[in-house]
Homo-oligomer: A and B are copies of this chain.
Amino acid sequence: MDILIVIMDGISGRPTSSLNGLTSLQAADTPNLDRAADKGVSGIMDPISPGVRPGSDTSHLSLVGYNPYSTYTGRGPFEAAGVGIDVKEGDIAFRCNFATKKDGKIVDRRAGRINETSELSKAIQRETKEIDGIKVIFRESTGHRGALVLRGEGLSSRITGSDPKKPGLPTKKIKAIDPVGDKTAEIANKFIEKAESVLENHPHNKKRIEDGLPPANTVLLRGVGEVPSVVPIQDKHGLDSAIISGTGLMKGIGKLIGMDVIEVEGATGSKDSNTMNKARETIRQLKENEKDFVLLHLKGGDEAGHDGDGAAKIQYIEEKIEPVIDYLLKEIEDTLLVLTADHSTPLDVKDHSGDPVPITIVGDGVRVDDVNFFNENTYKGGLLRIKGKDLMPICLDLTNKCNKYGA
């Protein structure tokens, strides 16, 4: 039996007066999610621990069996892995923003949400291959984003970032938090200086100024972290694994723990994503590529939750998730199907909350319960209340893939 975990990012919430005291999941028409619950065993799950507000990154790590408190060293390493940099244990990694600086101050933290930075990034990389004997890797990501990796001896993530967080302030000088970070801070500051001198006279920026657009004339360094030591998922769980996600951060997590990161046409990591393409690719990975485990990440509900947009969240559930569940229920064979979320994103909070998420597990051998709906009330089901770290052991057990502990 294979394992398919569908993570509907931020899909659960809290009851809200804007939906007559319901949550988005309760207000949406969800015959296919409900059908799955009817066929399976349900419950609620604290992705990390009761009341803890997870990021999508820390939660995903927990759900696939990695302790986020030891594995998650910052967002940088996961972003860098997500843009395709082959990060190595001990690398120091940052997520970056292309930004616009004027008279020494950051006037736009996203350089007018610049969309195309590959030429700029290549130019930066050409001039910054090495600084003070340290290898430097810089690569563009989607939109105004990029990632930076420093590799070599004597580096440390005990440094601050350069992002002033709001416009109108100068770039912050990167500083060591303790002396072990001195060298890294110096190199990071030198990188920014070199990047700025490359960007200042780059034709792409001259063109942007001519077009009345803010030039991408500096790079902000954020989310620094040291690439952690990670046991690959194949060794940890014995599963040949793939992740299907439109989100760079999730791809980075998948890559860092050794999953195949599958690119799907039309997967945007947003509400407009082609979720059916992702579903078809999921089935193909299980059936044709013979993956043991696929994690399918569907992001749009979280985005709508962050916007506090109930109509958009309901529409995403009904139009982007429901057809996927219908298709998966029809197409999966000999596969344990898990439907859940990485955290709640209530409309009134407009951010992640620490509320538990619903979970339903469908497959041969599960102890089917009375729950025939998929929403925040699945606490009435046979799983009761579990933790995110319990999910992989439960899946491995239900698919008879785990070793007996004892005799």
Instruction: List residues of A whose CB falls within 8 A of some B CB.
Output: 14-15, 21, 23, 44, 48-59, 68, 72, 75, 223, 249, 346, 348-349, 351-355, 365-369, 376-377, 379, 382, 384-387, 390, 392-398, 400, 402-407
Contacts and interface: CB of A to CB of B under 8 A. Distances in A.
Contacts of A50: 386-387, 390, 393-394
A220 to B, nearest CB: 16
A17 B249 CA distance: 43
A72 B384 contact: no
A250 B335 CA distance: 37
Contacts of A48: 405
A235 to B, nearest CB: 18
A365 B346 contact: yes
Contacts of A51: 390, 392-398, 402
16 contacts: A14-B366, A14-B367, A15-B366, A48-B405, A49-B390, A50-B390, A50-B393, A51-B393, A54-B404, A54-B406, A55-B404, A68-B406, A352-B404, A354-B394, A384-B384, A385-B385
Contact of A53 (B59, B387, B392, B404): B404
- Count this chain's copies in the assembly: 2
B354 A397 contact: yes
Q: Most chain-B Cβ atoms within 10 A of its Cβ — which of A21, A72, A405? A: A405
Contacts of A369: 377, 379
Contact of A351 (B23, B387, B404): B404
Contacts of A386: 50, 385
B379 A382 contact: yes
Nearest to A61: B406
Is the contact region of chain A dominated by helix, strand, or loop, or is it mixed?
Answer: loop
Given A14-B365, A14-B366, A397-B354, A405 B349 contact: no
A393 B52 contact: yes
B367 A58 contact: no
A366, A368, A407: which has the most chain B beta carbons within 10 Å? A407
A369 B356 CA distance: 14
Q: Which of A355, A387, A397 has the most CB of B within 10 A?
A: A397
B405 A54 contact: yes
A361 to B, nearest CB: 11
Nearest to A95: B407
A9 B306 CA distance: 40
B367 A15 contact: yes
A367 B12 CA distance: 11
Given A50-B394, A55-B404, 12 more contacts: A49-B390, A49-B393, A51-B396, A54-B405, A54-B406, A55-B407, A58-B406, A68-B405, A353-B397, A354-B393, A384-B385, A385-B385
